[in-house]
Each structure stands twice: as C-alpha cells, then as structure tokens.
C-alpha cells in the first residue's frame, strides 16, 4: 500500500515553528499526509513527544499521522538531519562525527537542502561526494529553500549520483505541511524505508517563506502558542 510522507516538518519545539500536535494532526488529515518526520532544530524532545501523542491517539482508535523522530542538527558545516533517532544528537560537531552519531543509534543520515547556496555553512557538492558512504538520503526537493534555484541544482546533482532521495516541506506552520511530499510503499524500519525510496515519487511545490512567516505570526497569536 502506498503512503504519503513529509520528511521535513518542524514542531513548535523549534523556536521558529508554531506546529503543535493538534495543528499537525489537522494539517496532515486535510492534506492527506500519513507520516511525518519531525526535524526540529537541535532538539529531539518535540519529536519524542509527538511520537508518543500519535501512538496514544492511534491506539485509542483515533486518526493521527505516524511520526518518525528526527532532528535537524547544526554541524560545523551546515545542517544534517537524522531519521529514526533514539536520542538527541548535539550540535556544533564536524559533519562526519554527527553522521556517525546518527548511524550509531540505528538512524539514517538525511542531508537537507544540499544546494541552498544562500546558507553560509553547508556541505559543498565535492564534500558530499567525499563522505558519500556516511550519507543515506539526500533531500532532492525542499519546500522553502532560501536560494530559489536550490531544488533544480539538487535535481541535477542527484541525476548523476546514486544517492537515495526523499523530500519534505520544511513546514514551520500548519498550512504548508505536505506542500512537498513523497508517495512511497509503506514501511516500518529504516531498512524498509531505504528499500521503499527506490520506487518513490516526489511531488509538490515551493512556497513563499514570507507568506509562511506571516502565517506563523497569525497562528502564534490565534492559539497563544509559546515554544517550550
């Protein structure tokens, strides 16, 4: 059975996000997203909490998206994400060390927005090639890169390399959840995800970061959302 997944969503545990668990659930239901990877900036707590809340709801017979606990970690050379994490990965380490910490707990290394040229710190294409054996998945499509040509560059790079690819909205407010999504065969484990990605389809479109910032402001006011 095919499912729809968004591999890059920020919960309100990220200071720049307003996505609470009820807003996530409503957003996913509205947009037909079955599974979400929570990728908060340098914190793992929100991912754990959302996973627990999702499991509680589902075991009570209610609908909720499935959650993969992850983290978007700032390394000394830009951001690296971990999927299927069991514990927090600290920021500020060299990327190779961060990747090893992700792998050592059974997680998958996911490189977000690899060609977002407006980010000062990021892994360059040749560096990605040099550490290819530590990379599991590269984000071929991100919902709101700072550099508008980032997704095109990523697509071109990945056409010539054999990395597995996935994608995510990078949503920080509920209306953009699933704006970028992957349709793929259902999976439970990291190994099954890696297999499923071979036959996956990436779809969606970029959205305006400015409009997203306005919506963040609106939601924060409307629901009095304070970050933990």
Q: Could you list the residues that contact Zn ion (CB under 5 A)?
A: 72, 170
Indicate the burial class of 159 (C-beta count within 10 angstroms; 0-12, 13-18, 19 or more).
Answer: exposed
Question: Which helix H or strand E contains 195, and what residues bound it?
Answer: helix 190-197
Q: Which residue, 122, 176, 115, is CA-closest to 141?
A: 115
Cα of 30 vs its chain's centroid, Å: 19
User: Least distance from C-beta 21 to Zn ion, angstroms?
Assistant: 18
In the sheet where 78-83 sits, what is the strand order? 71-75, 78-83, 108-111, 137-142, 164-168
Q: Closest CB to Zn ion among 71 and 72?
A: 72
Minimum CB–partner distance for residue 40 and Zn ion (Å): 8
- Our CB check for Zn ion shows the closer of 20 and 212 to be 212
Name which of 6 and 72 has its Cβ closer to Zn ion: 72
Q: Which residue is nearest to Zn ion (CB)?
A: 170
Total length of the chain: 228
**Of 71 and 170, which has the nearer Cβ to Zn ion?**
170
Query: Shortest gap between Cβ of 41 and Zn ion (angstroms)?
Result: 7
Lookup: tokens for 80: 């690296």
Nearer to Zn ion, 57 or 220 (CB): 220
CB of 75 to Zn ion, least distance (A): 14
CB of 56 to Zn ion, least distance (A): 26
Closest CA to 171 of 43, 7, 48: 7
């Amino acid at each position: 059975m095919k499912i729809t997944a968004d591999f890059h969503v920020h919960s309100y545990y990220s200071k720049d996000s307003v996505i609470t668990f009820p807003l996530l659930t409503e957003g996913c239901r509205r947009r037909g997203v079955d599974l979400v990877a929570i990728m908060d900036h340098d914190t793992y707590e929100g991912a754990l909490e959302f996973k627990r809340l999702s499991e509680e709801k589902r075991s009570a017979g209610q609908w909720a998206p499935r959650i993969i606990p992850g983290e978007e970690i700032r390394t000394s050379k830009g951001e690296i994400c971990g999927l299927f994490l069991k514990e927090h990965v600290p920021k500020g380490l060299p990327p190779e060390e961060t990747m090893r910490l992700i792998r050592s707990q059974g997680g998958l290394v996911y490189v977000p927005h690899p060609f977002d040229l407006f980010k000062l710190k990021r892994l360059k294409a040749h560096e990605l090639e040099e550490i290819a054996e530590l990379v599991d998945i590269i984000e071929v499509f991100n919902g709101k890169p700072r550099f508008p040509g980032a997704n095109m560059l990523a697509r071109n790079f990945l056409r010539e390399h054999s990395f597995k690819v996935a994608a995510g909205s990078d949503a920080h407010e509920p209306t953009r959840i699933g704006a970028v999504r992957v349709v793929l065969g259902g999976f439970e484990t990291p190994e099954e995800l890696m297999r499923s990605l071979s036959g996956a389809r990436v779809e969606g479109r970029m959205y305006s970061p400015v409009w997203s910032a306005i919506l963040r402001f609106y939601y924060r006011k409307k629901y009095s959302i304070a970050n933990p």
